[in-house]
């Protein structure tokens, strides 16, 4: 936990404004889900821009117009996901190639409680692979790779915490797992919403009319 973070490219995968947050469809209409995706993405982008050691923030998406409209003025780069690199892992591998060989931090765009201190805690780890787990200790909400982890491949999807630990071990890479309130909740379900601190819910609700 001693090395300064320095020179990290943060990569944020972002879907379009239509297909995401499907698990909230029973409680939020399409317009509110789109607004929620935008509010959360702006929060994550702003947090990363304010985080020490993060040099660039690159948002990778199949819908650059939506990403630009959402993140205008925040100082992020928008990178189009090629059609021959489908899905979340394809998008991230493409962004990683574009970012080059330095340090990489993947952060999901739906982390309402993420704060610069959480980013700092992840970047402070010495391990070549650092994972901030979700509250079920099943998913991966942030993933930091040092340059020595170049053989590591993304395994986002169901059960990705375990899959990422297996992937690290397969390449002989030490992995650190971080558990923090600010990284534990990605907002996918009504139950996730209930887990968030009141102040975070109040802030999101102000910007998303009709939210639970």
Ligand X SMILES: Nc1nc2c(ncn2[C@@H]2O[C@H](COP(=O)(O)OP(=O)(O)OP(=O)(O)O)[C@@H](O)[C@H]2O)c(=O)[nH]1
Q: Which does 160 bind (CB under 5 to 8 A by kind): ligand PEP, ligand X, none?
A: ligand PEP
Burial of 37 (0-12, 13-18, 19+ CB in 10 A): buried
| Residue whose CB is nearest to ligand X in the complex, by number | 20
Considering only 83-91, 112-120, 143-151, 173-181, which stretch makes contact with ligand X by CB under 6 A? Answer: 83-91
Nearer to ligand PEP, 118 or 134 (CB): 134
Interaction site with ligand PEP (CB under 6 A) = 88, 134, 139-140, 156-157, 160, 186, 188
The answer to whether the CB of 67 falls within 8 A of the CB of 14 is yes
At which residue do the structure tokens 């650190």 appear?
176
Q: Sheet holding 175-178: strands in order across? A: 77-80, 54-61, 8-13, 103-107, 140-145, 129-133, 175-178
Which DSSP symbol is given to 24? G
What does residue 77 show for φ and ψ, rounded to 5 degrees? -95, 140
| Residue whose CB is nearest to ligand PEP in the complex, by number | 139
Q: Which does 105 bind (CB under 5 to 8 A by kind): ligand PEP, ligand X, none?
A: none
| Residue numbering of the annotated binding site | 140, 157, 160
How far apart are the C-alpha atoms of 123 and 201, rounded to whole Å?
26
Q: Which does 15 bind (CB under 5 to 8 A by kind): ligand PEP, ligand X, none?
A: ligand X
Residue ranges in contact with ligand X by CB under 6 A: 13-15, 20-23, 60-62, 81, 87-88, 91, 108-110, 186, 188
């Amino acid at each position: 936990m001693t090395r300064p973070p320095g020179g990290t490219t943060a990569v944020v995968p972002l879907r379009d404004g239509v297909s995401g947050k499907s698990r909230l469809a029973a409680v939020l209409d399409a317009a509110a889900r789109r607004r929620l995706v935008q509010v959360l993405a702006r929060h994550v982008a702003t947090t990363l821009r304010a985080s020490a050691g993060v040099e660039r923030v690159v948002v990778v998406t199949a819908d650059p117009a939506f990403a630009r409209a959402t993140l205008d003025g925040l100082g992020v780069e928008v990178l189009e996901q090629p059609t021959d690199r489908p899905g979340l892992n394809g998008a991230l591998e493409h962004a990683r190639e574009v970012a080059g060989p330095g340090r990489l931090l993947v952060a999901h765009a739906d982390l309402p409680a993420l704060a610069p201190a959480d980013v700092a805690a992840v970047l402070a780890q010495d391990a070549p692979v650092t994972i901030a787990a979700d509250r079920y200790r099943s998913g991966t909400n942030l993933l930091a790779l040092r340059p020595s982890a170049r053989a590591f491949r993304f395994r986002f999807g169901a059960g990705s915490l375990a899959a990422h630990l297996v992937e690290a071990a397969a390449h002989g890479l030490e992995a650190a797992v971080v558990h923090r309130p600010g990284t534990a909740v990605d907002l996918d379900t009504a139950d996730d919403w209930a887990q968030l601190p009141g102040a975070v819910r109040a802030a999101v609700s102000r910007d998303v009319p009709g939210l639970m």
